[in-house]
C-alpha cells in the first residue's frame, strides 16, 4: 500500500514544457514498473486540440491537450489527480480550477515563487472540499512500485538504484526536492526502501503539512516508519512532534532538522528555502524543532550524516520484531531503451548512415571545408574563390586561379533588369514576395536558353579536346548529334559589336601564359562559326566554360559559377525594389498579342 | 520575504487610509532646504530626521535626531548623508513631522498558517516589548475580513475604552486592509499615537515586510526591497542576484566575512545541512551559496568565480544530494570552468576542493571533476555512496 498516489492514480498535467518533461519522467517510471502511462491528459490552452508525444519504452504515446480541466475530465473521467506546472502569476487560478473539478481529489503544485496568500487560499479551499493540495514548490510524490507524480526520484538509473520499482516500509516527507531523493536512496541502501515519498515544498505555508501526511502514513499498514526532513522556520516540525507525542503511534518517526548553523551566524543572516525563516522570538529555530521532536519520542539523529545508520537500526528492529520481512529483489527489471546516440556511444549498435559527405564538417567549434578550418583559411589570406575550390572541387586552388574565378564572377554578377532571371525576381519583388522566394524565381529561369549553357558548353568543348577533334569534325559531330553549339552565338552581340566581357576575360587569361587548350579550341570554333554568321560568336557562357574546364573544374559544377554570381545581382534587384517600395505590376494589354478565339457561347454540358 | 524601508512602507499605509505624519525622503541637505520652502508643515512643526537605510539600532548610532527645526533637520541631514556604517553608506534621510503625544499604543498584522493575526496593545514603544502579555490577538482565516464588531472587541480586550477603542478598532481594520491587499507578510506600527491636535491615531513608525513573490500584481511597488541582514549587499552578492533574476532555476550567494570554509553546494535544502555540518565540525563558514532547478552552466560558473574569490578560504565544499532533474554533468561543467578561471587568475592556491553529488549524468560529471586532479587542483571527489555531509568531516579533519 501507499498513500496519495497509487495504481489507480490518473493524472492531468496543467502546463507546457515543464509539464511535458514531467510526463516523460513519469512514463519512465511506468515503464519500469510495467504499468500503462498514468498521464491521461494535459491542460494547456495555447496548444489545446493538439497532442504531446510522450516516449514510453521504445514507442511514443500521444496524450491529448485540452483547454480546461473540465474538458479533460469529461473525456477522461478516470482522472483523479492534477499536477500544476503553471507560472506563479497564474498558478492559483489553475490550482483552483483543478480543486473545483469533482473528479480531482489531489492537486500537487510544482510552481515556485507562488505568493504566500495564494498558497494559503489554495490550502484552505482544498481543506474545505476535503481534498489534498500539495505544494507549492513540490518536487512531486512517488509511491514505490505504484505511481510517480512529477520528477521526484530523478533519472531512470536512480529509480532502479533506489529500488523504487517495489515497495519498502518507509514513508518520507521532505520540504526539499533534492533531499527527498537523498532520503529515498538512503532508505533503499540502509533499509528496504520506501512506500511513499512526498515533497511538500519549501515555502513558508505549504498547502498540506507533515501532520496530515503522518495521519495518512499511520493508517497505511505497509508503512512502518516515517522519515521527515525539516528546516528552521515555521512550526510544521513542532506540530509534527505534537502529533507524534499526543498518543501511542503505530509508525516510528525519524526526524532531522537543518538550520543549526544559524546559531553561529551574524544576526539576521538567513538563507535556504523561502520558509526557512526563524521567528522573531526564536520560535522555529532548528534547536527548538529538534528538541520538540526528541521530546515527542521521535528518533532524531545528531546530524544528517547519522540518518543512514539510524534508518538501518530502525529497519533491523522491524525485521527482528517480524513486522517486515527481507525482500527478495526481482531478477530482471526492464531496461530503459537507449537513444541511438547513447547506444552508439556504448558501441551497442551500428547504423547505416543515410547520407555521405566528403566536403565539410561543422561538428566541431567551427566549420571545416575539406578539412580546413574556416578561421584558419581567413587568417592565412584565402578568399571566397578558394572556398569555392574546396567545396566544389575539393582542392585548394592557386592565387592565380582564384583571381580568374573572381573575375568570372564579377563579370557575370548582373546583366540589367530585362533578362529573364532579373525580370522574374523583380516581378516577384513587386508582388511582395520575400527575398529567398523571389531570388529562387530568378534562379528558376536559368536553363538552356538563359545562363544555363555553361555546363553544356564546357562539356562539348572538353569532349572535342579530349578526343583531339579539329573544328570541322567538331561542328559536324555537333550538327549531327547535338544541335547548335552551346556557348556559341548571342542575341545582340556580334563580330562588329563584340561582347566586352568576353574580350576582357580572354585577354586576361591569355596574358597569364598558362595552358588553355579548351579556350584555344573555343576561339578556333568562333573563327569558323562567326565567318558563317556575324552573331555566332563565342559568348560569355562559352568563354567561362572553356576557361573553367582549363582550370580543371568538373563539368557538372560549371553552371554553378553563373548561378552563384548571378545570385548577387538577383539579391540586388530584390533589395532595390524593396527599397523603392515598388507596386504590383502587370503586363499592359498592348504588350500581349491576343490570339485566343473570340468570345463565344458555352455549349450545354453533356 | 522582502523588507521595505519606512518611507515606502508609510506610503503603502497612507494608501489604505492610515494616518501617517508628514514626511519626505531626501538624498541631500540641499534637497531638504528646497522642500522646506514649499512645505508649510516643515516650518510649523518640530521635525524628526532618521537615516533611511536598512539599519538596526539607529538611535544608538546617532542616526535619529528629534525635536529639530528645519535648520536643525538640514544640519542633521548634512551630517548623516554619506556616513559609513559597516558596509552601508547612508544615502537617504527621512524627515518627518514630530507628533506631540502622550499615550503610545501598538498594532501589528502578521501572517499565520491559517491566514493572519491582528495584534493590538494599549501600550507601545519599548513598553510593549517588556509587557508582551498585554498584546491581544484576533486570528483570521485566509480570505476572511474582520468585522467592525470583532475589531472593537479586540480593542476592548486590549484595554481600550470609550472613543479610543473605536478608533483603535478602525486603525486595526485599516492595517488589515493594507496587509491583505498589499500581499504583506508582516506589518507593525510601534508606536501608534493620538495626535493631540485632532485626536486621530497616527502611525509613527512602520515595519513593512512584503511578499516579494507577489510583485507581479503590484505595479505600484516602485521601490527597492532592502537587505534583511542589517547590512548592504556586496558587489558580488548583487552580481549573483542579477544572474539569479535572469535564469531558469536559481543561484544564491551571501558572503560571511572572516570564514575559511567556502560553500558551493546544490539545493536549497541540502545547502543548509552542509552549512550545519561545517558549524558542527567547528568550521567557519565563508559564505552561503546554493544552485538549484537545473540552472544554466554559465550561471553556475559565475557563482563559482564568486566563491573562489572569497578571501582566506582553505576548503571549498561542492556538495549536493542526488538531484532529481538538475544535470550534474552540465552544472559541474560550469563549476569546472569557474575553477579553471580562478586558477588562471592565481586564486585557489592551497585550497582543497571537496565534491559529493548524485543525479542525472552523475558519472560523467564526477569523472570530469576527478580529471581536474591532472590539471593540478587539490580535489577530492565522492559519489552517492559517501553520505551527504561526510565530505565536510573529511575537509575539516584536524
Return all residues near A209 (Cβ < 8 A) that are at least 6 apart.
A200, A236, A239, A240, B113
Last residue of a domain, one of B97, B112, B142: B97
Identify all chain B residues contacting A265, using CB atoms and an 8 Å cutoff: 256, 285
Number of neighbours of residue A59 by Cβ within 10 angstroms: 10
The domain tally of chain A equals 3
> What are the Cα distances from residue A505, in Å, to A406, A459, A547, A561?
11, 20, 9, 14
Measured torsion, CA atoms of residues B337, B340, B342, B345, in degrees rounded to the nearest 10: -130
Residue with cell 493508517: A219
CB B208 within 8 A of CB B187: yes
B50 and B82 both lie in a single domain: yes
Identify all chain B residues contacting A258, using CB atoms and an 8 Å cutoff: 269, 272-273, 275-276
- What's the CATH number where B197 sits? 3.30.470.20
A213 and A273 both lie in a single domain: yes
A490 catalytic per annotation: no
The domain tally of chain B equals 3
Give backbone dihedrals phi and psi of A225, rounded to 5 degrees, phi first: -150, 155
A186 and A65 both lie in a single domain: yes
- What's the CATH number where B310 sits? 3.40.50.261
Last residue of a domain, one of A293, A320, A347: A320
The answer as to whether A589 is a domain residue is no
B29 and B112 both lie in a single domain: no
Q: Exposed (0-12), middle (13-18) or buried (19+): which is A233, by Cβ within 10 Å?
A: buried
A381 and A236 both lie in a single domain: no
State residue A583's pLDDT score: 95
The answer as to whether A337 is a domain residue is no
B92 and B116 both lie in a single domain: no
CB B12 within 8 A of CB B182: yes
The answer as to whether A282 is a domain residue is yes
- What's the CATH number where B46 sits? 3.30.1490.20
Q: Are A273 and B269 inside 8 Å of each other by CB?
A: yes
Q: Tens of pLDDT along A175-195?
A: 988 899 999 999 999 999 999
Q: Are B277 and A304 inside 8 Å of each other by CB?
A: yes
| Whole-angstrom distance, CA of residue A554 vs CA of residue A552 | 6
User: Per-residue b/e over A66-78, b at no fewer than 16 CB within 10 Å?
Assistant: beebebbbeebee
Query: Which H helix or E strand runs over A125?
Result: helix A116-129
Residue B62's pLDDT band, with cuts at 50, 70 and 90, is: confident
Last residue of a domain, one of B77, B97, B117: B97
The answer as to whether A217 is a domain residue is yes
3-state secondary structure (DSSP) of residue B256: coil
A304 and A364 both lie in a single domain: no
Q: Which grid cell sits at A277?
A: 525563516
3-state secondary structure (DSSP) of residue A84: strand
Residue B71's pLDDT band, with cuts at 50, 70 and 90, is: very high
The answer as to whether A403 is a domain residue is no
- Could you check whether the bond before residue A136 is cis, i.e. omega within 30 degrees of 0? yes
The answer as to whether B310 is a domain residue is yes
Interface test with A, best of B268, B365, B385 (most A CBs within 10 A): B268
Residue B2's pLDDT band, with cuts at 50, 70 and 90, is: confident
B270 and B346 both lie in a single domain: yes
The answer as to whether A338 is a domain residue is no
State residue A269's pLDDT score: 63
**CA B318 remoteness from chain centre:** 26
A302 and A379 both lie in a single domain: no
A388 and A425 both lie in a single domain: no
Question: Crossing angle of helices A307-320/A177-190, nearest 10°?
Answer: 40
Checking if the pLDDT of B231 tops 90, the result is: no
Beta bridge partners of B227: none
Q: Which grid cell sits at A418?
A: 530585362
A393 and A424 both lie in a single domain: no
Give backbone dihedrals phi and psi of A340, rounded to 5 degrees, phi first: -55, -45
B65 and B157 both lie in a single domain: no
Over range B230-240, report the average pLDDT: 84
Which residues in chain A land under pLDDT 50?
280-281
Greatest pairwise CA separation for chain A in angstroms: 120
CB A292 within 8 A of CB A169: no
Going by C-alpha positions, the residue among B39, B38, B26, B41 that lies closest to residue B74 is: B26
Identify all chain A residues contacting B228, using CB atoms and an 8 Å cutoff: 268, 270
A465 and A500 both lie in a single domain: yes
| Whole-angstrom distance, CA of residue A440 vs CA of residue A227 | 68
Residue B276's pLDDT band, with cuts at 50, 70 and 90, is: very high
Q: Cα–Cα–Cα angle for A275, A281, A285, nearest 5°?
A: 45
Q: Exposed (0-12), middle (13-18) or buried (19+): which is A481, by Cβ within 10 Å?
A: exposed
Going by C-alpha positions, the residue among A120, A21, A18, A132 that lies closest to residue A81 is: A132
A390 and A432 both lie in a single domain: no
The answer as to whether A410 is a domain residue is no
DSSP string, B359-398: STTHHHHHHHHHGGGGGT-EEEEE-TTS-TTHHHHHHH--
Last residue of a domain, one of A295, A320, A345: A320
State residue A275's pLDDT score: 57
B203 and B276 both lie in a single domain: no
Contacting B residues, span 16-55, partner chain A, CB-CB under 8 Å: none
Number of neighbours of residue A468 by Cβ within 10 angstroms: 7
ipTM of this predicted complex?
0.91
State residue A430's pLDDT score: 97
Going by C-alpha positions, the residue among B199, B148, B200 that lies closest to residue B173 is: B148
The answer as to whether B7 is a domain residue is no
The answer as to whether B31 is a domain residue is yes
B108 and B89 both lie in a single domain: no
The answer as to whether B226 is a domain residue is no
Identify all chain B residues contacting A274, using CB atoms and an 8 Å cutoff: 1, 213
B207 and B82 both lie in a single domain: no
| Whole-angstrom distance, CA of residue A452 vs CA of residue A443 | 10
Beta bridge partners of A196: A143
Q: Tens of pLDDT along B327-350?
A: 999 999 999 999 999 999 999 999
Domain that holds residue B29: 22-97
A385 and A451 both lie in a single domain: no
CB contacts < 8 A, A to B, total 186
Contacting B residues, span 270-309, partner chain A, CB-CB under 8 Å: 270-273, 275-280, 285, 288, 290, 292-293
CB-closest option in B1, B216, B324 to A178: B324
Q: Are B285 and A265 inside 8 Å of each other by CB?
A: yes
Residue B125's pLDDT band, with cuts at 50, 70 and 90, is: confident
State residue B197's pLDDT score: 83
Half-sphere exposure of A276 (CA within 13 A, CB side): 25
Q: Are A271 and B252 inside 8 Å of each other by CB?
A: yes
B279 and B382 both lie in a single domain: yes
State residue A127's pLDDT score: 96
State residue A32's pLDDT score: 96
CB-closest option in A140, A179, A260 to B279: A260
The answer as to whether B375 is a domain residue is yes
CB B189 within 8 A of CB B204: yes
Over range B226-247, report the average pLDDT: 84
DSSP string, B211-253: -GGGGGG-TT--SPPBPSSSSPPPHHHHHHHHHHHHSSSEEEE
CB-closest option in B111, B280, B324 to A154: B324
B255 and B108 both lie in a single domain: no
State residue B229's pLDDT score: 67
Contacting B residues, span 212-241, partner chain A, CB-CB under 8 Å: 213-214, 216-217, 228-230
The answer as to whether B197 is a domain residue is yes
B261 and B384 both lie in a single domain: yes
B93 and B110 both lie in a single domain: no
Contacting B residues, span 343-372, partner chain A, CB-CB under 8 Å: 358-361
State residue B129's pLDDT score: 82
Residue with cell 493620538: B194
The answer as to whether B89 is a domain residue is yes
| Whole-angstrom distance, CA of residue A117 vs CA of residue A265 | 30
Q: Cα–Cα–Cα angle for A123, A128, A134, nearest 5°?
A: 30
The answer as to whether B12 is a domain residue is no
Number of neighbours of residue A325 by Cβ within 10 angstroms: 10
Q: State the pTM of this model.
A: 0.82
Residue B302's pLDDT band, with cuts at 50, 70 and 90, is: very high
A390 and A431 both lie in a single domain: no
Give the full edge-to-edge strand order of the sheet including A368-369.
A360-361, A368-369, A372-373
Domain that holds residue A378: 357-397
The answer as to whether A406 is a domain residue is no
Give backbone dihedrals phi and psi of B189, rounded to 5 degrees, phi first: -120, 115
Q: Tens of pLDDT along B208-225?
A: 999 999 999 999 998 888
Amino acid at each position: 500500500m501507499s498513500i496519495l498516489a497509487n495504481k489507480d492514480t490518473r493524472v492531468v498535467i496543467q502546463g507546457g514544457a515543464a509539464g511535458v518533461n514531467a510526463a516523460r519522467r513519469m512514463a519512465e517510471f511506468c515503464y519500469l514498473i510495467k504499468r500503462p502511462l498514468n498521464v491521461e491528459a494535459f491542460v494547456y490552452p495555447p496548444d489545446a486540440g493538439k497532442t504531446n508525444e510522450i516516449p514510453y519504452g521504445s514507442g511514443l504515446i500521444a496524450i491529448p491537450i485540452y483547454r480546461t480541466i473540465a474538458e479533460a475530465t469529461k473525456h477522461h473521467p478516470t482522472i483523479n489527480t492534477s499536477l500544476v506546472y503553471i507560472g506563479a502569476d497564474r498558478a492559483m487560478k489553475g490550482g483552483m480550477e483543478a480543486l473545483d473539478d469533482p473528479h480531482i481529489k489531489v492537486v500537487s503544485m510544482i510552481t515556485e515563487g507562488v505568493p504566500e496568500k495564494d498558497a494559503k487560499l489554495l490550502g484552505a479551499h482544498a481543506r474545505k472540499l476535503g481534498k489534498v493540495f500539495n505544494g507549492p514548490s513540490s518536487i512531486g510524490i512517488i509511491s514505490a512500485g505504484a505511481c510517480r507524480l512529477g520528477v521526484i526520484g530523478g533519472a531512470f538509473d536512480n529509480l532502479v538504484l533506489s529500488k523504487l520499482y517495489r515497495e519498502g516500509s518507509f514513508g518520507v516527507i521532505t520540504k526539499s526536492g533534492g533531499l527527498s531523493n537523498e532520503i529515498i536512496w538512503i532508505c533503499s541502501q540502509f533499509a528496504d526502501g520506501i512506500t511513499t515519498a512526498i515533497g511538500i515544498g519549501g515555502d513558508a505555508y505549504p498547502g498540506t503539512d507533515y501532520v496530515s501526511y503522518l495521519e495518512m502514513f499511520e493508517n497505511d499498514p505497509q508503512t512502518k516508519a516515517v522519515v521527515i526532513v525539516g528546516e528552521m522556520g515555521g512550526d510544521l516540525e513542532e506540530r509534527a512532534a505534537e502529533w507524534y507525542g499526543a498518543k501511542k503511534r503505530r509508525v516510528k518517526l525519524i526526524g532531522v532538522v537543518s538550520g543549526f548553523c544559524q546559531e553561529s551566524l551574524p544576526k539576521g543572516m538567513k538563507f535556504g528555502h523561502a520558509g526557512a525563516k526563524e521567528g522573531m522570538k526564536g520560535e522555529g529555530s532548528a534547536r527548538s524543532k529538534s528538541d520538540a521532536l526528541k521530546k515527542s519520542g521521535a528518533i532524531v539523529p545528531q546530524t544528517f550524516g547519522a540518518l543512514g545508520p539510524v534508518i538501518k537500526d530502525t529497519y533491523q528492529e522491524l525485521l527482528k520484531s517480524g513486522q517486515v520481512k527481507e525482500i527478495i529483489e526481482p531478477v530482471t527489471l526492464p531496461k530503459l531503451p537507449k537513444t541511438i546516440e547513447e547506444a552508439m556511444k556504448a558501441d551497442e549498435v551500428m547504423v547505416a548512415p543515410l547520407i555521405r559527405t566528403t566536403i565539410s564538417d561543422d561538428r566541431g567549434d567551427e566549420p571545416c571545408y575539406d578539412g580546413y578550418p574556416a578561421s584558419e583559411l581567413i587568417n592565412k589570406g584565402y578568399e571566397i574563390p578558394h572556398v569555392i575550390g574546396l567545396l566544389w572541387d575539393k582542392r585548394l586552388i592557386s592565387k592565380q586561379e582564384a583571381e580568374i574565378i573572381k573575375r568570372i564572377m564579377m563579370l557575370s554578377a548582373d546583366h540589367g533588369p530585362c533578362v529573364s532571371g532579373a525580370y522574374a525576381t523583380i516581378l516577384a519583388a513587386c508582388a511582395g514576395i520575400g527575398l529567398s522566394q523571389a531570388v529562387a524565381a530568378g534562379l528558376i529561369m536559368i536553363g538552356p536558353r538563359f545562363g544555363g549553357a555553361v555546363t553544356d558548353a564546357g562539356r562539348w568543348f572538353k569532349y572535342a579536346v579530349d578526343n583531339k577533334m579539329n573544328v570541322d569534325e567538331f561542328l559536324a559531330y555537333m550538327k549531327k548529334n547535338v544541335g547548335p553549339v552551346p556557348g556559341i552565338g548571342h542575341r545582340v552581340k556580334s563580330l562588329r559589336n563584340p561582347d566586352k566581357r568576353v574580350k576582357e576575360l580572354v585577354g586576361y587569361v591569355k596574358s597569364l601564359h598558362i595552358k588553355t587548350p579548351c579556350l584555344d579550341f573555343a576561339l578556333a570554333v568562333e573563327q569558323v562559326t562567326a565567318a558563317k554568321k556575324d552573331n555566332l560568336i563565342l559568348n560569355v557562357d562559352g568563354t567561362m566554360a572553356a576557361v573553367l574546364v582549363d582550370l580543371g573544374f568538373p563539368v557538372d559544377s560549371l553552371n554553378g559559377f553563373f548561378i552563384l554570381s548571378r545570385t548577387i545581382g538577383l539579391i540586388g534587384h530584390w533589395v532595390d525594389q524593396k527599397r523603392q517600395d515598388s507596386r504590383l505590376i502587370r503586363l499592359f494589354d498592348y504588350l500581349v498579342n491576343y490570339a485566343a478565339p473570340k468570345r463565344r457561347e458555352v455549349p450545354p454540358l453533356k | 520575504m522582502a523588507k521595505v524601508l519606512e518611507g515606502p512602507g508609510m506610503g503603502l499605509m497612507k494608501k489604505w487610509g492610515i494616518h501617517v505624519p508628514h514626511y519626505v525622503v531626501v538624498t541631500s541637505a540641499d534637497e531638504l532646504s528646497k522642500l522646506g520652502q514649499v512645505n508649510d508643515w516643515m516650518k510649523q512643526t518640530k521635525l524628526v530626521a532618521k537615516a533611511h537605510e536598512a539599519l538596526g539600532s539607529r538611535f544608538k548610532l546617532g542616526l535619529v535626531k528629534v525635536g529639530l527645526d528645519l535648520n536643525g533637520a538640514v544640519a542633521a541631514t548634512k551630517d548623516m548623508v554619506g556616513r559609513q556604517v559597516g558596509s552601508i553608506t547612508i544615502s537617504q534621510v527621512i524627515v518627518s513631522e514630530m507628533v506631540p503625544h502622550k499615550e503610545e499604543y501598538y498594532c501589528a498584522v502578521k501572517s499565520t498558517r491559517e491566514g493572519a493575526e491582528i495584534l493590538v496593545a494599549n501600550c507601545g514603544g519599548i513598553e510593549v516589548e517588556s509587557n508582551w502579555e498585554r498584546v491581544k490577538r484576533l486570528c483570521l482565516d485566509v480570505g476572511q475580513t474582520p468585522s467592525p464588531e470583532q475589531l472593537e472587541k479586540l480593542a476592548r480586550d486590549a484595554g481600550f475604552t470609550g472613543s479610543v477603542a473605536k478608533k483603535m478598532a478602525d486603525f486595526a481594520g485599516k492595517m488589515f486592509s493594507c496587509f491583505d491587499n498589499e500581499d504583506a507578510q508582516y506589518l507593525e506600527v510601534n508606536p501608534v499615537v493620538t495626535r493631540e491636535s485632532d485626536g486621530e491615531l497616527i502611525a509613527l513608525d512602520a515595519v513593512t515586510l512584503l511578499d516579494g513573490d507577489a510583485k507581479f500584481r503590484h505595479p505600484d511597488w516602485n521601490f527597492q526591497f532592502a537587505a534583511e541582514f542589517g547590512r548592504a549587499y556586496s558587489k558580488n552578492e548583487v552580481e549573483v542576484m542579477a544572474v539569479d533574476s535572469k535564469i531558469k532555476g536559481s543561484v544564491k550567494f551571501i558572503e560571511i566575512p572572516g570564514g575559511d570554509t567556502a560553500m558551493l553546494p546544490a539545493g536549497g535544502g541540502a545547502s543548509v545541512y552542509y552549512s550545519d555540518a561545517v558549524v558542527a565540525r567547528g568550521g567557519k563558514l565563508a559564505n552561503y551559496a546554493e544552485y538549484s532547478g537545473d540552472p544554466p552552466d554559465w550561471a553556475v560558473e559565475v557563482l563559482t568565480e564568486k566563491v573562489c574569490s572569497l578571501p582566506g578560504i582553505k576548503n571549498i565544499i561542492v556538495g549536493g544530494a542526488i538531484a532529481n532533474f538538475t544535470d550534474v554533468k552540465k552544472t559541474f561543467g560550469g563549476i569546472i570552468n569557474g575553477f579553471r578561471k580562478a586558477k588562471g587568475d592565481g586564486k585557489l592556491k592551497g585550497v582543497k576542493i571537496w565534491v559529493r553529488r548524485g543525479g542525472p549524468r552523475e558519472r560523467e560529471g564526477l569523472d570530469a571533476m576527478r580529471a581536474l586532479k591532472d590539471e593540478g587542483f587539490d580535489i577530492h571527489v565522492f559519489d552517492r555512496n559517501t553520505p551527504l555531509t561526510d565530505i565536510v568531516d573529511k575537509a575539516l579533519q584536524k
